[in-house]
Structure formats: C-alpha cells, structure tokens
C-alpha cells in the first residue's frame, strides 16, 4: 500500500500495518487482502459483491477487520457483508470506509451489513467514515446495518464521522429478542455544505430487551443534519434515545423522534437538545489563552470524541 492508503487504514482501524487475525481489506471496488482463522471464516459471495463472515460458537476475545479504502474518483461501490456470530462469543468487529478523492468526479460507497448474533454472545462493532482529498468530486458514504439479537445477546455499535464526507445516509434496523441488549453511540461532524441523515428503527420484541441510542452531532457552516429514531416496544422492554447537537454559523439540525409502545409494559424515552456552544464555556477556555476558534474546536472535540 502507498502512503495515502496506509493513512486511511490507520484512521479507520488504528493500525499501522495489515491487521492480525481475520481480516478483509477492500480497495477501489475490489478485494485487496483477506485472511481467515480457524474459528473465523471469511468467504466471498458468489452472486454479488461482498463477504460472509462466520464466527463459530464460543469464540472469545477475537477481532475481525473489514475496512474499505477508495482512492479514485468516479467509483460507485456496493458491498453486502453478512455476519453470522455463534453462541457464547465475545468479538470485536472493526469496519468503515475512507475516501481520498482528488478528482472532480464523485466516489460513493454503499455498505450493507447484516448481523445475526447467537444466544448470549457479545459483539462490539466499530464503524468509522473518513473523507479527504482536494478534488471537487463528492465523497459519499451510505451504510445500512441490520441487526438480529438472539436471546441474551448483547451488541454495542460505535460510529464516528468527522468532516470530509460530502453526504451520508445511515440506516440501522434492529430486532431484539428476550433479554437482548443493544447500545448505539453515534458521533457526526459536518461542515461546509455537507449533509448527514440518520435513521434508526429498533423493534423490541423480547421480554426484558433493551436499547440505548446516543447521538452527538455538530453542524457547522451551511451543513445540514437530520436524525430520525423509531423505537417499537412489543413486549416488556426499555428503550432510550438521546440526541444532542451543537450548531454554529448557518447550520441546521433536525431531530424527529417516534416511540411506539404497543405493549403496556414497554418503557420508551426520547430526549433531544440542540443549540449553540455555551458562552461561559468559551470564555473559560479563552481566559486560558485560546482564541475563540481554538476554544470552539476544543469544546467540539470533547463533545464528539471525549
């Protein structure tokens, strides 16, 4: 890989070289490298672009990396990645897409990921989106995530998108059965004329199932974001959605909640707060010697990535 590709890989995975363990790296619409393990098998699909990732029962403390790198303009990439996680597993899955576009042609990646998580398994899924390059061509990322959590399964999803991405539409659909738990943390920064749309729909089907969705977003310049969530409680369950946004300049953030308690024992909550950076926070940092812009950036950094 060249320096650009290595840098994108590091931003997406935190790694400076090829991952150890099971991995699949996709570059410019084609496989670049792939490695399976004894208990984790990665199989290319035969009739469409993408892979099947099969994780056997009882796999503990293993990781799977499946980053996508795009370094050309004019590419429209579509992949279908299906994860089959066995029972009593504990695994980390790191995905995401980085686009470096120095051309006037738009490049796009649509990743459709489905997860079927076995009983009593824990999965942490990390997905990062990166856009860079000096070209006027768009950098578009549209991920779709479909999750089915079996009895007692637990999944955490972390998504991060910081600047650079021209447009994104993120859709997440989940079905939770008895005692299943889902936690989603989303962090998005848009600038210039960028747009970002998030749609969550979670069906709480099982008794004592629960979901927590936390979205932190910052919109600057003339960018636009819309956040939609739909929790459907069909059993004794708990669901909580929190949407916190910061706007500056002429930006706009819209939050559209929907909570549907079909069962009388369902408990569903939605909270939303959108506004500008508090003046006292700016003043406090500026008294320490930071400029207003530096203070704003420091607050935004802490808000998005802690």
Q: What is the CA radius of gyration of the chain?
A: 20
The H helix count followed by the E strand count for the chain is 3, 21
**Lowest model confidence (mean pLDDT) among 20-29, 119-128, 146-155, 193-202:** 20-29
* Overall size of the chain counted in residues: 306
Please indicate whether residue 305 or residue 32 has the higher confidence score (pLDDT). Answer: 32
Q: What is the mean pLDDT of residues 239-244?
A: 95
In the predicted model, is pLDDT for residue 224 greater than 90? Answer: yes
10: helix, strand or coil: helix
Interatomic CA distance for residues 45 and 211, integer angstroms? 31
In the predicted model, is pLDDT for residue 283 greater than 80? Answer: no
Interatomic CA distance for residues 246 and 198, integer angstroms? 16
Interatomic CA distance for residues 150 and 204, integer angstroms? 12
At residue 296, the pLDDT reads 80
Angle subtended at Cα 84 by Cα 109 and Cα 242, rounded to the nearest 5 degrees: 65
Q: How many CB atoms lie within 10 A of CB 172?
A: 22
Interatomic CA distance for residues 139 and 176, integer angstroms? 33
**Is this model's pTM higher than 0.85 or not?**
yes
List the chain domain ranges. 3-278, 279-306
Indicate the DSSP class of residue 186.
E
Mean of pLDDT over the chain: 93
One DSSP character per residue, 130-175 reads EEE-SSSS-EEE--EEEEEE-TT-EEEEEEEEES--SEEEEEEEEE
* Token pair 């099971």 in the structure block, residue: 22
Q: What is the pLDDT of residues 47-77, one digit of tens each?
A: 999 999 999 999 999 999 999 999 999 999 9
At residue 269, the pLDDT reads 96
At residue 16, the pLDDT reads 67
CA trace torsion 130, 30, 172, 197 (10° rounding): 40
At residue 306, the pLDDT reads 62
The residues, ordered by sequence, that sit 6+ positions from 113 with a Cβ below 8 Å of its Cβ are: 81, 82, 83, 95, 143, 144, 145, 146
Q: What is the mean pLDDT of residues 202-213?
A: 98
Q: What is the mean pLDDT of residues 81-102?
A: 97
């Amino acid at each position: 890989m060249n320096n650009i590709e290595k840098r994108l890989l590091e931003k997406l995975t935190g790694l400076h070289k090829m991952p150890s363990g099971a991995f699949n790296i996709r570059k410019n619409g084609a496989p670049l490298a792939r490695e399976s393990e004894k208990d984790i098998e990665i199989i290319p699909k035969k009739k469409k672009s993408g892979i099947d990732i099969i994780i056997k029962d009882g796999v503990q403390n293993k990781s799977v990396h499946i980053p996508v790198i795009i370094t050309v303009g004019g590419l429209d990439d579509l992949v279908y990645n299906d994860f089959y996680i066995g029972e009593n597993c504990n695994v980390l899955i790191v995905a995401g897409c980085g686009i470096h576009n120095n051309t006037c042609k738009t490049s796009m990646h649509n990743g459709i990921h489905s997860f079927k998580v076995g009983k009593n398994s824990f999965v942490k899924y990390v997905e990062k989106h990166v856009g860079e390059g000096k070209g006027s061509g768009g950098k578009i990322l549209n991920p779709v995530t479909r999750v089915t959590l079996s009895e007692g399964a637990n999944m955490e999803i972390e998504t991060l998108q910081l600047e650079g991405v021209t447009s994104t539409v993120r859709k997440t659909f989940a079905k939770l059965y008895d005692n299943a738990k889902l936690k989603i943390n989303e962090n998005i920064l848009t600038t210039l004329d960028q747009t970002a749309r998030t749609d969550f729909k979670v069906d709480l089907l099982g008794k004592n199932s629960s979901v927590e969705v936390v979205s932190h977003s910052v919109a600057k310049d003339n960018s636009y974001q819309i956040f939609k969530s739909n929790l459907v409680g069909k059993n004794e369950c708990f669901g909580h959605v929190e949407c916190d946004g910061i706007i500056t300049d002429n930006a706009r953030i819209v939050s559209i909640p929907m909570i549907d308690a079909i069962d009388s024992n369902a408990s569903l909550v939605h909270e939303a707060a959108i506004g500008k950076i508090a003046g006292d926070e700016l003043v406090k940092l500026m008294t320490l010697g930071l400029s207003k812009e530096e203070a704003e950036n420091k607050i935004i950094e802490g808000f998005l990535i802690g």
